Structure 1
Amino acid sequence: MKIIKVLIAVVVLAVIGSAATVMIAPAGTAAFLVDLKRGLGDLEKKEITLSSGLKYVYLESDNKDADTLVLLHGFGADKDNFTESAPYLKDFHLIVPDHIGFGESSKPEDADYSPLAQARRLHELFTLLDLKRRIHIGGSSMGGHIAMTYASIYPAEVKSLWLLDPGGVWSAPESEMARIIRETGVNPLTAKTEEEFRDVFDLVMSEPPFVPGFVKDQMARKRIANFDLEQKIFAQLKADSVEARVTGLATPTLLVWGKEDRVLHVGAVDVLEKLMPNVTTIKMDGIGHLPQLEAPAETAQDLKDFIAGLEQ
């Protein structure tokens, strides 16, 4: 009985200590949790500088003898959008960069943020990282837009594409997000307050993973600080259609779309299937705009099965 009381006391003290830590140093606690999540995927943070002076910050796994899988995050997100999936993708050598303009990478005010410019920067990054073998590229939303662009201008360097609700297919039916922008002129993917960021969080996922409120608030502050730049980047994205670029693109492609996506209409699947001759499609029930966060194990396994099928 005495041992049980001691154990209870230890647990109570641990809970009190954790709560105190969160109250006193929420930013540090949030950073610790991010590092913990990265560690589960064997990801280490690194950085490298391009010839232009722009800095890329990226995550990399140590499995360098395996096939390389590059993972590209979406608009307003960062490299940690793939830490939920990383533990299920340890069969690959993972490279997960913050795009220029996002996360911890450089954020020049007047840069070209078009998908073509981002793809060319990535090509220099991959060259500096000495990725001599052909690579698999996965992209979520804007990251999918950039991934398709990369494959279109460097087709010999890409073994396969993994597209998760990708952007750039602007002839698709109007989404809820597009309707909001048309009717109000406000982009619901951007945020000026912590409350608005929580609305963004709800918009992009139907089945979000649990994220403590203080972690969301730390995420919100980064988005708020980047608000003005994100307006410029979004305008450049909307001005760029990927459709002509990928017409006839034969790269083996796994196209995944959440049926509950409110950001980009699932009808874009029909457009891409007509344009790209080598597409395998999975539509996910009950999933929104970010399958890799909402169903990380399932989406990762689908990718592994797809790539295994290419090698048979």
Structure 2
Amino acid sequence: MSLRRIIKTVAAVAAVLLCVLLVWLWLDPYRVVLADYARQRIQAGLTRNAAQIDDHRWVYAYNDDAPANAPTVVMIHGFTGSKENWYPLAQRLRGRYRLFIPDLPGWGESERHAGDDYGFIAQNDRIARFIEQVARTPGSEVVLLGHSMGGGIVALTAARHPRAVDRLGLFDAAGVRFQDNAFGLAVLSGKNPFAVSDAASLQRYIDIVFYDDAAKPVIPWPADRIYIGRRKRDADFEQAVLDKIGRGDQRFLPGIEAAGIRQPALLLWCKQDAVIDASALDLYAAQLPQAQRVLLDGCGHMSIVERPDQAAHAVNQLIAEGRSR
């Protein structure tokens, strides 16, 4: 075959592949965002998997390249979040522990059912099932970490399913009546302060959850427009969840039931958290006198992204506590 024919063949194949790619993206533009999430996951050394648990299909990232009987760390994201929020911390814990990071049912890539309950109580039971069916290995402690809404969920899991959880970490956790701030007052008035409908509200959302400018994500075109479209479609779902966890009878249940938690615990906040005010740390500490307390400076609600080194150190300290005795 001549060189000219080879070039033409390669060009034709490339054109076909490009057309296939364009059709693939046209059918679901959100795949642009998912492709970047996949890049982040690979960079963190994690593998993607899925599991059917009861009536929901869960998607999760994991890494089990750890010593035999190493602790299993399960990480639960917050409201409007996803498993990707934990990747900076996971990258620093990889190799020491088995890691499992799911998208909660209703969020991210996991399945959502119209009309289902995705509040604190329902999700806490689902987390216990995820640990039982996917994460737990005989001889391995389970360390359950939760951020924001995820913190409220896992506090209930530790209290209500104590056999499923050996150690607990709450990061900027919801579930207590913290000191009034603009975010909390907006939620109580029926609004969604995290709502995203255009470029301005996307930037406002980022500015609310991040304090450290260096850690704020930059979302390039066209991913920003695609992400905005997804959040607009999720607006009703987000409000329904807020009705449960921010305005309903469940909103302070995690803090109340935390008094029944006996496992070693970690409480980690940032001073500049504009979502779950740092006063929440002391409220949880009053219920968890055994907890290690870490208050970081110069970061906001996304402590696990803004200060992953300090967060990883705190998790290592939590796991080390009492293990040598």
Bucket of the pairwise TM-score, normalised by the shorter protein: 0.7 to 0.9
Say whether the 8 Å CA contact 1:250–1:277 is kept in structure 2.
Answer: no
Correspondence list, 1:193-212, <5 A: 193-207=198-212, 208-212=215-219
Q: Which amino acid aligns with 1:46?
A: N
Q: Match of 1:148, SS? A: helix
1:182 offset after TM fit, Å? 4.8
1:28 offset after TM fit, Å? 5.6
Match of 1:68 among 50, 55, 72: 72
Say whether the 8 Å CA contact 1:76–1:190 is kept in structure 2.
Answer: no
Gaps of 5+ in 2: 1-20
**Corresponding residue for residue 244 of structure 2:** 236
TM-score of the pair, normalised by structure 2? 0.82
1:145-190 CA-partner distances (Å, limit 9, x unpaired):
01101000111221211111000112x211220123456x422112
Going from structure 1 to structure 2, the CA distance change for 1:169 and 1:182 (only over 3 Å counts) comes to closer
Q: Which amino acid aligns with 1:78?
A: S
Say whether the 8 Å CA contact 2:64–2:97 is kept in structure 1.
Answer: no
Correspondence list, 1:128-147, <5 A: 128-129=133-134, 131-132=136-137, 133-147=140-154
Q: Which deviates more from structure 2 when the two are superposed, residues 255-264 or residues 200-209?
A: 200-209
Say whether the 8 Å CA contact 2:103–2:109 is kept in structure 1.
Answer: yes
1:286 offset after TM fit, Å? 1.1
Distance in 1 (alpha carbons) for counterparts of 2:75 and 2:117: 21
Say whether the 8 Å CA contact 1:55–1:105 is kept in structure 2.
Answer: yes
Q: Which deviates more from structure 2 when the two are superposed, residues 56-65 or residues 272-281?
A: 56-65
Correspondence list, 1:73-84, <5 A: 73-84=77-88
Say whether the 8 Å CA contact 2:30–2:226 is kept in structure 1.
Answer: yes
Say whether the 8 Å CA contact 2:72–2:135 is kept in structure 1.
Answer: no
1:89 offset after TM fit, Å? 0.9
Distance in 2 (alpha carbons) for counterparts of 1:29 and 1:98: 18
Determine if the alignment matches structure 1 residue 51 to structure 2 residue 54.
yes
Distance in 2 (alpha carbons) for counterparts of 1:51 and 1:179: 36
Distance in 2 (alpha carbons) for counterparts of 1:77 and 1:263: 13
Going from structure 1 to structure 2, the CA distance change for 1:310 and 1:279 (only over 3 Å counts) comes to same
1:217 offset after TM fit, Å? 3.9
1:230 offset after TM fit, Å? 0.9
TM-score of the pair, normalised by structure 1? 0.85
Going from structure 1 to structure 2, the CA distance change for 1:75 and 1:27 (only over 3 Å counts) comes to closer
Determine if the alignment matches structure 1 residue 118 to structure 2 residue 118.
no
1:224-247 CA-partner distances (Å, limit 9, x unpaired):
221111110111112212122111
Going from structure 1 to structure 2, the CA distance change for 1:77 and 1:178 (only over 3 Å counts) comes to same
1:305 offset after TM fit, Å? 2.6
Q: Match of 2:48, SS? A: strand
Correspondence list, 1:190-269, <5 A: 190-207=195-212, 208-214=215-221, 215-238=223-246, 239=248, 240=250, 241=252, 242-269=254-281
**Corresponding residue for residue 112 of structure 2:** 107
1:281 offset after TM fit, Å? 0.7
1:75-115 CA-partner distances (Å, limit 9, x unpaired):
00111111122210111111111111110111112111121
Provide the aligned length of Structure 1 versus Structure 2: 286
**Corresponding residue for residue 279 of structure 1:** 291
Q: Which amino acid aligns with 2:311?
A: T
Identical columns (%): 25
Superposed CA RMSD in Å reads 2.1
Going from structure 1 to structure 2, the CA distance change for 1:160 and 1:216 (only over 3 Å counts) comes to farther
Say whether the 8 Å CA contact 1:134–1:156 is kept in structure 2.
Answer: no
Say whether the 8 Å CA contact 1:88–1:301 is kept in structure 2.
Answer: no
1:259 offset after TM fit, Å? 0.5
Q: Match of 1:83, SS? A: helix
Distance in 1 (alpha carbons) for counterparts of 2:184 and 2:164: 33
